[in-house]
Amino acid sequence: MAYLIDTDIIIYSIKGNLKVQEKFREKEAIPKAISIITYGELLYGAKKSIQPEKNAAIVYRLVEIFPIVGITRSVIEAFAEIKRSLEIRGERLADLVYCLRKDFTQNVIPDLIRNPVFSAGFPFSRE
């Protein structure tokens, strides 16, 4: 099992949300990553903030710790097929999260387990 961490969860952790930080501590041994979309959202938020240098440094540190799941051709092909299948059933898929999870489980988890930076922990897991 592994986690693809959402933008909001990262932000809650950075801002000191105790419940989120406790969950990170509880799940510290489980591999985690962020999507390229989350990285973009975090970096955009940092750069438009009142303290862009400080906040961008936090984002850059996060991507040293959490691998980034990118969007590849196979991810987009999986997304298109999943979205089509869901629409046939009358359901909607609003974003690329599901196909990012597919890429994450196939390509990132093996690298995560061997990643010494990841195994060192992450900055918001300790008070």
The domains of the chain, with CATH numbers, are 3-70+107-119 (3.40.50.1010)
* Per-residue pLDDT tens digits for 12-48: 999 999 998 888 888 888 888 888 888 988 999 999 9
pTM over 0.75: no
Q: DSSP string of the chain? A: --EEE-HHHHHHHHTT-HHHHHHHHHTTTS-EEEEHHHHHHHHHHHHTSSSHHHHHHHHHHHHHHSPEE---HHHHHHHHHHHHHHHHTT----SSHHHHHHHIIIIIHHHHHT-HHHHT--TTS--
Position 116 pLDDT exceeds 60 = no
Assign 81 a pLDDT band (cuts: 50, 70, 90).
confident
